[in-house]
């Protein structure tokens, strides 16, 4: 039984347009995956919105609906895709080049994929050194490029007949940019666009265009984008959900599962060495030290926040943490991530854990894109605006309200997400206290 007021959520009428920045490995794996699922050819494995359930009420009530049945999410049948990319390849060619999916998941839907052609990108090689794209917009100022993106959004909405839109950044990782004066207010941001200030990266132009066109924006890469005061405030003013950043998929997902386990048992950590080999275009882009720096910052923060060395100096005061990514073409999208973890236990005795995760990067990322698209659309219809911290579950560097530290523990993130779903629908929060089942508890 619902116990609190259900939030007012506008129904998911009509089509939902999913605008993807970047039509590379992740985007094409996502699009092709959704189409295979729609045709009953595969299952949406890895997607919480499609496969997950949420327990409601007491354990004795035995109520655990599927999330997609519990909330008014957009139906997969109603998704329509659009994309930008500096390479002119359609989604079929891009998926084939990315080489993530086998022919059985691409060929039967070839015509559908060929119909998705990327719009010219707002692209500047200064921010992604290893790419040489030709399908790019021209303009004298960054402001002009942003206006062209806004026009693209309006045109897409009209030509596709969608009712609502969300935008997800699935494009390459840009070079590291520190937040600066240009990012502080909308006025400084707009002025910086007009002056072609290098502090304004292409990703920020997409985020700005999305917000100006009333489209929620999620950032799947680690670059500084919507996580600047100017755009965060714009989102609040325009009542739009935003969030990021950097999809939490392979090695970092494992890190945010293992580190909380060590901390829960008060086991010490001396060092954590993480290295990866991958050979896709993402790996090539990250081979550039400036793009790698952006990724490194995103990957390194996790342990510090989970382990809280200031509270447990004997256990976590001297952790040596190293992260490496090595571009190694023969592996393509099939990344191998190794972790060597040096822990210590009772009386300080050392132990080691080795993790060898032979993962598929885009296979792990695609369901995250789907869930984010559906949840950001839900958030907008439910009137949630600004940073969507409840979706931290999906990100390596979760964006938070100013002054809050991010929560990285995957299971706390999951609890937060599910409690937010319960709260949206006026259901009781689950505390896991459970004293009422025992003699000493309340009856
Ligand atoms: N796959 C994962 O597990 C994972 C996890 C976390 C983050 N990411 C991030 O997701 C992003 C996409 O990964 P991918 O494997 O699909 O990479 P990819 O290189 O296959 O695709 C990225 C695409 O973005 C395009 N692009 C670059 N700059 C652009 C711009 N300004 N506008 C439009 N398009 C642009 C590129 O041309 C490319 O086609 C990367 O930033 C990656 O770091 C991926």
pLDDT in tens, 186-224: 999 999 999 999 999 999 999 999 999 999 999 999 999
Question: Measured in angstroms, how far is the CA atom of residue 141 from the centroid of ligand 1?
Answer: 24
Strand order in the sheet with 268-278: 320-327, 268-278, 336-344, 350-358
Residues at CB less than 6 angstroms from ligand 1: 21-26, 84-87, 98, 121-123, 128, 131, 133, 170-173, 202, 220-221, 246-247, 249-250, 280-282, 285, 361-362, 364-365
pLDDT of 418 above 60: yes
Taking the C-alpha atoms of residue 12 and residue 131, their distance in angstroms, rounded to an integer, is 38
Of 24, 30, 33, best ligand 1 pocket probe by most atoms within 8 Å of the beta carbon? 24
Of 20, 21, 171, best ligand 1 pocket probe by most atoms within 8 Å of the beta carbon? 171
Question: Measured in angstroms, how far is the CA atom of residue 52 from the centroid of ligand 1?
Answer: 27
Q: CA nearest 365: which of 244, 219, 217, 248?
A: 248
pLDDT in tens, 138-167: 999 999 999 999 999 999 999 999 999 999
The pLDDT mean for the chain works out to: 94
Token reading at 200:
């304004």
Of 20, 26, 287, best ligand 1 pocket probe by most atoms within 8 Å of the beta carbon? 26
pLDDT in tens, 280-324: 877 788 778 877 777 777 677 789 899 999 999 999 999 999 998
Strand order in the sheet with 217-219: 79-84, 16-21, 164-169, 217-219, 241-244, 386-387
**pTM reported for the whole predicted model:** 0.95
Taking the C-alpha atoms of residue 297 and residue 245, their distance in angstroms, rounded to an integer, is 12
Enumerate domains of the chain plus CATH numbers: 16-247+362-424 (3.40.50.720), 253-358 (3.30.360.10)
């Amino acid at each position: 039984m619902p116990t609190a007021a259900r939030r007012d959520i506008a129904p998911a009428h009509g089509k939902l347009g999913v605008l993807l920045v970047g039509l590379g490995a992740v985007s094409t794996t996502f699009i092709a995956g959704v189409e295979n699922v729609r045709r009953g050819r595969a299952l949406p494995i890895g997607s919480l919105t499609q496969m997950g359930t949420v327990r409601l009420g007491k354990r004795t009530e035995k109520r655990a609906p599927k999330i997609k049945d519990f909330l008014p999410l957009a139906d997969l049948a109603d998704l329509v895709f659009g994309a930008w990319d500096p390479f002119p390849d359609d989604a079929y060619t891009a998926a084939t080049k990315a080489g993530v999916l086998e022919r059985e998941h691409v060929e039967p839907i070839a015509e559908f994929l060929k119909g998705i052609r990327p719009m010219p990108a707002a692209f500047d090689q200064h921010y992604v050194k290893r790419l040489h794209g030709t399908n790019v917009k021209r303009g004298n100022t960054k402001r002009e490029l942003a206006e062209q993106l806004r026009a693209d959004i309006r045109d897409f909405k009209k030509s596709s007949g969608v009712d609502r839109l969300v935008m997800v950044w699935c494009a390459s990782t840009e070079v590291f940019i520190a937040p600066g004066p240009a990012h502080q207010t909308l006025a400084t941001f707009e002025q910086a666009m007009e002056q072609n200030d290098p502090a304004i990266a292409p990703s920020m132009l997409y985020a700005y265009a999305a917000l100006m066109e009333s489209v929620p924006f999620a950032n799947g890469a680690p670059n500084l984008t919507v996580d600047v005061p100017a755009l965060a405030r714009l989102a609040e003013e325009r009542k739009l959900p935003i969030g990021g950043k950097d999809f939490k998929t392979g090695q970092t997902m494992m890190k945010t599962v293992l580190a909380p386990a060590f901390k829960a048992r008060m086991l010490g950590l001396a060092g954590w060495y993480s290295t990866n080999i991958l050979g896709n275009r993402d790996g090539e882009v990250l081979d550039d030290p400036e793009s790698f720096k952006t990724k490194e910052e995103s990957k390194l923060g996790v342990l510090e926040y989970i382990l809280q060395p200031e509270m447990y100096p004997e256990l976590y005061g001297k952790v040596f943490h190293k992260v490496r990514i090595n571009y190694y073409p023969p592996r393509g999208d099939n990344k191998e991530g190794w972790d060597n973890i040096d822990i210590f236990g009772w009386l300080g005795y050392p132990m080691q854990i080795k993790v060898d995760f032979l993962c598929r990067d885009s296979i792990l990322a695609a369901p995250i894109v789907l869930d984010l698209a559906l949840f950001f659309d839900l958030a907008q219809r439910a009137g949630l605006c600004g940073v969507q911290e409840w979706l931290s579950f999906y990100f390596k560097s979760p964006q938070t309200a100013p002054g809050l530290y991010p929560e990285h523990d995957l299971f706390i993130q999951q609890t937060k997400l599910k409690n937010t779903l319960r709260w949206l629908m006026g259901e009781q929060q689950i505390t896991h206290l459970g004293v009422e089942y025992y003699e000493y508890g309340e009856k």
